[in-house]
Structure 1
Amino acid sequence: MPQLHLDPDRALPPDPATRELARTVYAATRSLPLVCMHGHVDAALLADDAPFGDPAGLLITPDHYVTRLVHAAGVPLEALGIGAGAETDPRAIWRTFCANWRLFRGTPSRYWLTHELVEVFGVDTAPSAATADQLYDELTERLGRPEFRPRALFERFGIEVLATTDSPLDDLDAHARLAGEGWGERVIPTFRPDALVHLARPSWSSDVAALAKRADVATDDYDGYLSALRARRQAFIAAGALATDHGHESAGTTPLGDADARRIYAAALAGQVTAAEAAAFAGHMLFQMAAMSCEDGLVMQLHPGVLRDHHDEARRLYGADRGFDIPVAAEFTRSLRPLLQAFGRHPALRLILFTVDETVYSRELAPLAGVYPAVRLGAPWWFLDSPDGLRRFRAAVTETAGFYNTAGFVDDTRAFASIPARHDLARRIDAGYLAGLVAQGLLDLDEAVETAVDLAYTIPREVYARPA
């Protein structure tokens, strides 16, 4: 029967001399606390602390990294528990996944899943059609134990702080419950206003009406809308938030004049906004969010360059976040210039830039971070948080931006059990990159160790800290 195993030197450089150096660097970071400043775990998971239901519901159905690859092989998403008429038997879903285990060879999902199975759940049965039931039973037995409930795993993972991602419309009840039990500084919200700044969204009008109720501020005009957003930002800060997050297709930040902004907002309320006006307003609101961050100190995270819901029918049938978000070419230099002209040297702004377009690493992002005090580079994101993607990031940006104009690793996941695997991979890749600099005589070993610790722990803690 095939067995799963984790090579202790996985993802480290193959050259023996460099690998030995990398082992020394990695040893300094492997047990450091996890600082998880951007992710999509639901705070209610930890507030409720209920046992996980079954292996498929934990590891398969909610993870679009997993489901998209199986679907690409022709397996209906319904077979993975997604959509109307979906398979409801978790054992059947698990069998489908195990029968397609080979599809994950060479992918970061294979790394994360193997780490989860071996390190988190203590099983070594390799997934396959023949072993699916045995593995399902082994995992089900583990999930029934108290030590595998969410808070127990949180402690075992060594998570120091975990930031969730939340709509301004969220009542933050789960965060309030956690705070009441002493977890308020360990699980914190992040303010993500996307639904409220993209005027062409079908639900925008109802969402703006809901914003007015949640903030207790009228949103029947543009000025009230801004006031309501400011009020919700303050509510998030009171709940422990350290950052905002913005998922736009474009990084455009050209501000509108007040008259134009008011006119477009009124047109949207009347259901008469054009696509061009909506796009212009979205860029204008990124500028406004930067201005608000200068006022209240929330770190601003920007994730542009993705065409969301590429397949209309898939969105209709299965909803958002089902693997059909596809990267597009990104442009930052001109797009961010209005924002950076106004706030790029403002002492209260910290703007963290993410991309899934590697072509801009050395041409645009590293030079921007290498001169503007407000700018930091976010970790490789989404399709790039892979061993080679992480290596390419360091190779492309370090010579221009250095290590200390980056923001540390973020796991960006809703797959709770994969969090330690993702941080472990990033630490191994950084150890290998730093070891290469030592082997070339470009860095001393003690400097490499110090830098690795900073990348894994010190930098994200400092970048996301509230301004003094």
Structure 2
Amino acid sequence: MTLVAQDLLFPTDAASRSIARDLFAGIKDLPIISPHGHTDPRWYAENALFPDPAQLLIVPDHYIFRMLFSQGVRLEDLGVPTLDGTPVETDGRRIWRIFAENYSLFRGTPTRLWLDYTFANLFGLEESLTPANADRHYDAIAAQLQTDAFRPRALFERFNIEVISTTDGALDDLSWHRMIRESGWSGRVIPAYRPDAVIDPDFEGFAVALDRLGEISGCDTGRWQGYLDAHRNRRAYFQSFGATATDHGLASAETANLSAREAEALFDGVRSGKADERQRALFRAQMLTEMAKMSAEDGLVMQIHPGSWRNHSPAIFKKFGRDKGFDIPTQTDYVRALKPMLDAVGTDPRVSIILFTLDETSYARELAPLAGVYPALKLGPAWWFHDSPEGMRRFREMTTETAGFYNTVGFNDDTRAFPSIPARHDVARRVDCAFLARLVAEHRLGEEEAHDLARDLTYGLARRAYKL
């Protein structure tokens, strides 16, 4: 018996299930558009073999190790690299055995869906992972990873990925993207401009990063206008490698629209390191608006990912660094927070801003009404902690009535776990087909309309929203 059921996530009533099956059959083989994610461009540039199952599937995936850590498994024992030099487990088989011994922890989670799909569809393993078969699974996966068919570019093509966007810091020289471009490979891998390290004064090494920004851009980042010009320079550089979007992962959605004199004075205080907490927050807010204004100039789509208290555990951050599972959702305001930016660019047809949230209470109350009227706004899909069947359903239920489907942007997988990409897109396609099937069964949508929508939700909306 395969791990992925034919009717996975489809309605339980026969009539709706039949409609969902029909809709899914029409879109299941469409190419994957992956407009926002965190896979490593080095994989595609070097096209080297992945080292072992643990390094591919466990060590880089915070969805996995945060759950294991919550049940007492040390990150060191899972091979997660440390910043302080503390030794970590390097034997992939040992890491895999720990994972298998604790696989039951993932019952009912989206991680379990993605993993079961990957085991069955990518590696041909039809038994659910257990401690008893852990070594057999490991050996089967390890053997396949040593073949050319499992190199990154081969998997990219096997996954039917049309385009994938990585997320790259403002100071990145994009050398891996250059290598991809110069290799002659036809796979489309593009960067996205992520300037958090040179926009957020609380980011570690902020002052040094501003100096470096000036060096690589040739602009004077000791002055406000020079600092803005440095961003314009870097954005244009990213566009030369195919970038179509920026990404901003600040703690809140607060924006500001100060006068030129006020913004310059604020920058001077931040640059000198003398700004207080409120001034630093105001600077972040001002820079979101400045980035939106630049989007009107250069056409880059702007993504805002607010509302995460990042690195909630200082001890883990100090020992392991960022992105180690300790980023926690917070309550987020949008109506008041976004107003200064929307006053500046909200009705500008040149601007496209995609909003994400970790605060689901804002969907129906704030986000859908905003996106349902401001031409510049679109809603990003259920994200991160809500990238689940339940989260996707809630997203559709709470936003469609006010924003409709066409003020959303399809699905993006937002992952650094490369093998899970097909699984994540499969789940999203199934959930959307189930939602559309319900509307058809309730006579709220015609079947032909539902087929059109299924294709747009799977492919068309993302391609258009991200200018791909």
How do residues 232-271 of structure 1 correspond to structure 2 at under 5 angstroms?
Answer: 232-271=234-273
Residue of structure 2 in register with 1:274 after alignment? 276
- Identity over the aligned pairs, expressed in percent? 48
How do residues 111-260 of structure 1 correspond to structure 2 at under 5 angstroms?
Answer: 111-183=113-185, 186-260=188-262
1 CA distance for matches of 2:287 and 2:14? Answer: 51
1:166·1:191 contact (CA, 8 Å) conserved in 2? Answer: yes
Residue of structure 2 in register with 1:42 after alignment? 40
2 CA distance for matches of 1:91 and 1:316? Answer: 27
1 CA distance for matches of 2:185 and 2:367? Answer: 36
C-alpha distance after superposition, 1:282-315 (max 9, x if no partner): 0000000000000000000000111000000010
Residue of structure 1 in register with 2:447 after alignment? 445
1 CA distance for matches of 2:208 and 2:23? Answer: 52
Shift in Å at residue 184 of structure 1? Answer: 7.4
Residue of structure 2 in register with 1:411 after alignment? 413
Shift in Å at residue 257 of structure 1? Answer: 2.7
Q: For 1:352, what is the secondary structure of its paired residue?
A: strand
2:96·2:134 contact (CA, 8 Å) conserved in 1? Answer: yes
One-letter code aligned to 2:17:
R
Name structure 1 gaps, 5 residues minimum.
none
Residue of structure 2 in register with 1:95 after alignment? 97
1 CA distance for matches of 2:270 and 2:393? Answer: 44
1:64·1:322 contact (CA, 8 Å) conserved in 2? Answer: yes
1:200·1:273 contact (CA, 8 Å) conserved in 2? Answer: no
Change (3 A) 1:269 1:184: farther
- Aligned counterpart for 2:51 among listed residues 44, 53, 62: 53
4+ residue segments displaced more than 3 Å = 182-185
Name structure 2 gaps, 5 residues minimum.
none
How do residues 44-83 of structure 1 correspond to structure 2 at under 5 angstroms?
Answer: 44-82=42-80, 83=82
Shift in Å at residue 4 of structure 1? Answer: 5.7
2:381·2:411 contact (CA, 8 Å) conserved in 1? Answer: yes
Q: For 2:33, what is the secondary structure of its paired residue?
A: strand
One-letter code aligned to 2:59:
T
Shift in Å at residue 180 of structure 1? Answer: 1.6
Residue of structure 2 in register with 1:33 after alignment? 31
Shift in Å at residue 264 of structure 1? Answer: 2.8
How do residues 271-310 of structure 1 correspond to structure 2 at under 5 angstroms?
Answer: 271-310=273-312
- Aligned counterpart for 1:20 among listed residues 18, 21, 29: 18
Change (3 A) 1:183 1:243: farther
1 CA distance for matches of 2:184 and 2:163? Answer: 13
Shift in Å at residue 345 of structure 1? Answer: 1.1
Shift in Å at residue 213 of structure 1? Answer: 1.6
Task: Note the aligned Cα RMSD (angstroms).
Answer: 1.2
2 CA distance for matches of 1:99 and 1:240? Answer: 43
Aligned length: 464
Check if 1:6 corresponds to 2:8: no
How do residues 316-331 of structure 1 correspond to structure 2 at under 5 angstroms?
Answer: 316-331=318-333
Residue of structure 1 in register with 2:426 after alignment? 424
Shift in Å at residue 260 of structure 1? Answer: 2.9
Residue of structure 2 in register with 1:334 after alignment? 336
Q: TM-score, normalised by structure 1?
A: 0.97
One-letter code aligned to 1:165:
T
Shift in Å at residue 270 of structure 1? Answer: 2.4
2 CA distance for matches of 1:279 and 1:270? Answer: 15
Shift in Å at residue 340 of structure 1? Answer: 1.0
After the TM superposition, which of the residue ranges 151-160 and 117-126 deviates more from structure 2?
117-126
Q: TM-score, normalised by structure 2?
A: 0.97
2 CA distance for matches of 1:291 and 1:183? Answer: 35
Residue of structure 2 in register with 1:392 after alignment? 394
Residue of structure 2 in register with 1:107 after alignment? 109
Q: For 1:358, what is the secondary structure of its paired residue?
A: coil
1:38·1:412 contact (CA, 8 Å) conserved in 2? Answer: yes
Shift in Å at residue 254 of structure 1? Answer: 1.2
Q: For 2:324, what is the secondary structure of its paired residue?
A: coil
1:184·1:239 contact (CA, 8 Å) conserved in 2? Answer: no
One-letter code aligned to 1:364:
E
Change (3 A) 1:424 1:322: same
1 CA distance for matches of 2:373 and 2:383? Answer: 23
2:144·2:150 contact (CA, 8 Å) conserved in 1? Answer: yes
One-letter code aligned to 1:52:
F
Shift in Å at residue 431 of structure 1? Answer: 0.2
Shift in Å at residue 126 of structure 1? Answer: 2.3
Residue of structure 2 in register with 1:401 after alignment? 403
1 CA distance for matches of 2:146 and 2:186? Answer: 27
2:4·2:116 contact (CA, 8 Å) conserved in 1? Answer: yes
After the TM superposition, which of the residue ranges 100-109 and 204-213 deviates more from structure 2?
204-213
2 CA distance for matches of 1:200 and 1:110? Answer: 36
